Amino acid sequence: MEIQKALTRREFIHSAAALSFVYLPGIGRVKASPVALKSIADFSGRLCYNENPLGPSSLAVAAMQGATSSSNRYPDWYNSNLESQIAAHHGLQQNNICVGNGATEVIRLIADAFLSPGDEMITATPTYFQMATEALANGANVVHVPVDENYVIDLQAISHAISSNTKMISLVNPNNPLATIIHKDDMEAFLNSIPAGIVVVVDEAYHHYINSPNYESCIRFIGEGLPIIVIRTFSKAYGLAGARIGYSVAASGYTSHISSSQMFGTVSNLSQAAAEAALSDTEHLSNSINLNNEAKNFLETGFTNLELSFIPSETNFMMFDTGTSAVSVASQLASRGYQVRSGWGMPQHIRISTGLMDEMHGFMNALEDILGMGGNNGGEIPNTFAINSIYPNPFNSQCKIKITTYGVEQVNLTIYDTLGRKVRTLLNNSVPSGIHQISWDGRDLQGRTVASGVYIFNLIQGEFAASARATLIK
């Protein structure tokens, strides 16, 4: 599996990080509670999705409620009014913005617009997986470049990886799951060095949470004519993850290319109204950012007191080293009501989202108790997510795919050909944690024998993805 192989070739440096007590100017501790959640208890301890624990702005909730009366009417087909407001927010024109059904749709549209069979996309590892998945689905090859020893995306190594087939470079800044940023000077030099014919896509989903003066949004480079596309979302700081609104920011020519394959009417009346209202509620945005700062400072202090190494965060989540099996610790935390993430080829690290302060205190107490008991009392739990093997490879009539999964999320294992066409879905449901073996008989969904050639196996569970290739020879 390409992603995990890239990770295991590097040794991450586990250095203790200094505490960082940073608040926005003029604002102190936050005593905040969710704005509009009626069943907050149902979500207490859900610290695995990087959601805004305050929920949406009250203005956004009111706007959605008002929009329900027009639910019998189709929405603004191409989100024109919302795109205009977003453009004004950034000091740009409407033809610089493409709104979609969450950043999820926008990422797919960008991949469809710029990647074809035989093309190459370069990205970091570990990082958010979707663009790599969309690239593979389009028949492109993906090159995974490990982050550097400070857990920062290695732009120099990415530059060295550029080939004549490279058509896209995908960066997540701040990066997910590592919560680190690319220094603004390094980013500017990198963008100015990109060869012609390559577009750089920068996912800035966590832009609002950054405190470091060493960061700068890449939106300013659009006006300078650099080959840049920026992705933003209303899911994080604006608290509208369930409303599904994302958008791209790019030069008008790029935007036209991105939107050319977009289906109309994908963003509902309610979602458009919520996003428009959220843009104007600066107080809710400030409260969300400052609660996040308070929660991060608490986590940093708690990890330091427990003598646990952590990666300083510029987002609303943090990675820390448990010193033991992360999957085991995460399982025990889940049994106590705190859902967190592990994976990414980092077997001792856990990613925790910031939450309400009561959740932060409860989580830290539970973690201290678990680690005090040795951290491994949860039993034998697989600590990897992977396509372990495809055997035989090459194969003639049948191969066996061995995978490792964990948790209770749905697992999808799909086969594509090298042109990005879906051949067959072998698995698309929840399976128990552990190692599973699945067979493929070289036939498509209709039972037809497929042609000899290379096939791509794509495994997805939650935020994790893995891919591997096998060759069918007849």
* CATH code reported for the domain at 386-472: 2.60.40.1930
| Pick among 1.10.3720.10, 2.60.120.10, 2.40.70.10, 3.90.1150.10: CATH of 16-53+287-372 | 3.90.1150.10
Q: DSSP letter at 344?
A: T
Q: DSSP letter at 449?
A: B
pLDDT at 463 over 70: yes
Q: Phi-psi bin for 239: left (phi > 0), alpha (psi -120 to 50), beta?
A: left
Tell which residue, 175, 39, 201, 113, has the closest CA to residue 463. Answer: 175
Lowest mean pLDDT among 5-14, 293-302, 462-471: 5-14
pLDDT at 25 over 60: no
pLDDT score recorded for residue 34:
55
Tell me if the domain spanning 58-280 has CATH number 3.40.50.280: no
H or E, element range at 353: strand 346-353
pLDDT tens track for 98-114? 999 999 999 999 999 99
Distance (Å, rounded) from C-alpha 70 to C-alpha 67? 6
pLDDT tens track for 369-403? 999 877 655 444 445 688 999 999 999 999 999 99
The model carries a pTM of 0.84
User: Which amino acid is it at 105?
Assistant: E
Number of other residues whose CB lies within 10 A of the CB of residue 17: 14
pLDDT tens track for 261-281? 899 999 999 999 999 999 999
What's the gap between Cα 304 and its chain centre? 27
Region 11-25 average pLDDT: 29
Distance (Å, rounded) from C-alpha 407 to C-alpha 334? 10
Tell which residue, 18, 37, 19, 44, has the closest CA to residue 357. Answer: 44
pLDDT score recorded for residue 377:
56
Q: DSSP letter at 419?
A: T
Lowest mean pLDDT among 26-30, 97-101, 160-164: 26-30
- Domain range annotation of the chain: 16-53+287-372, 58-280, 386-472
The 3-class secondary structure across 145-160, one letter per residue, is: EECCCCCCCCHHHHHH
Distance (Å, rounded) from C-alpha 418 to C-alpha 107? 20
Region 40-53 average pLDDT: 86
Same fold across 16-53+287-372 and 386-472:
no
